[in-house]
Chain A
Amino acid sequence: RIYPLMRVTLTTSDGASVTVSRQLTKHSGFIEKAITDMAVDDNAVPLSAVAVDVDDATLKLVIEWLTEHRDDALPYPEKTDEERRADDIPAWDQAFVQKWDTKEDQQQTLYAVITAADKLDIKGLLDMTCKTLANKINGKTVEEMREILQLECDFTEEELAEIRKENAWCEN
């Protein structure tokens, strides 16, 4: 498929704007749909900007990821009836996440990128970031999982005893 409209301007939730190549935005279902909905003709009449509900700092990370992944296969290969696993994150992606997913950040950026990938419908980025979060809780104790996810235990003593009994299968 040819993309006659080669660049598109995005405006962020905090008022910034950035112009990016369609080579990148073609991986975003949301942006592609917005462009299609504007029904520009193939001669690329000036296109109004696409507003995205993502802040500038997060969008910069999304664009950095898209730049690396611009040649990824489209449509994104959806694995519906395959076993899912989180141990296959590419090395570049792991290094990319490590740059900003610091202890001090307390996963704020990770959640921002997950949410952005969901809003922009970028399936590869969504999978990668959700796998990153899954890897954080994988193999941890129940108490550690609560701490990482910042969740409080709201079970009654009886419910807790019931779950412990069930989960005896999973504690080895």
Chain B
Amino acid sequence: FQMSLSKLSPPLGKKRRIDSKKGDYVSYKFPFLALPNELKSHVFSFLPIKDRLRARVNKMLYAIESDSKYFVKKLLIREMSIADCDFNPADIFKHQIIWLFEEKSYSSDLFKKISQNAFIGSLDIRLSGSSQFHKEVCSMIKDFNLEE
């Protein structure tokens, strides 16, 4: 993905004249950044959990994600071999799912992060292993805000 920002928008900071009579200007520069924080947070609130966490693309959005609570009706966490992954795209309408692959290594930090801000209707975790990572994840389950 090699398209530069300059191709997508006028040079940063360049202003566009919108009303020549009144001399009002609107800036092209970072319109998202210009939104009040509660609106940025509102936009985030509509993202599925994975995109929400991935959208922490700069310090400001990292802070906004950390500061706002959200609700996930049903979260599934599955660990399996890449070869066995049987994700059905239709399922995204039923629940949100995080895949962990046996072939990869993970940090439990994200799980902790989720436990701090998410209210979760039901959490369904299937992990297979006895590594430090697995122990950490298991010990964190009690920290979740679960509906039942």
Contact = CB atoms under 8 A, between A and B. Distances in A.
B112 to A, nearest CB: 9
A23 to B, nearest CB: 26
A132 B81 CA distance: 35
A55 B24 CA distance: 10
Nearest first, the 6 A-B pairs at minimum CB distance are A134-B46, A170-B50, A86-B46, A83-B73, A111-B31, A172-B99
A150 interface: yes
A146 B47 contact: no
**Interface SS of B by simple majority:** mixed
A67 interface: no
Interface of A: 13-15, 55, 81-87, 106-108, 111, 114-115, 118, 126-127, 130-131, 133-135, 137-147, 149-155, 162-163, 165-172
B70 A84 contact: yes
Contacts of B107: 165-166, 168
Nearest to B111: A169
Contacts of A138: 47-48, 51
Contact of B45 (A14, A84, A106, A171): A84
A130 B5 contact: no
Contact of B46 (A85, A115, A153, A171): A85
B47 A137 contact: yes
Given A84-B71, A131-B46, A15 B32 contact: no
A86 B52 CA distance: 12
Interface in B51-70: 51, 53-62, 70
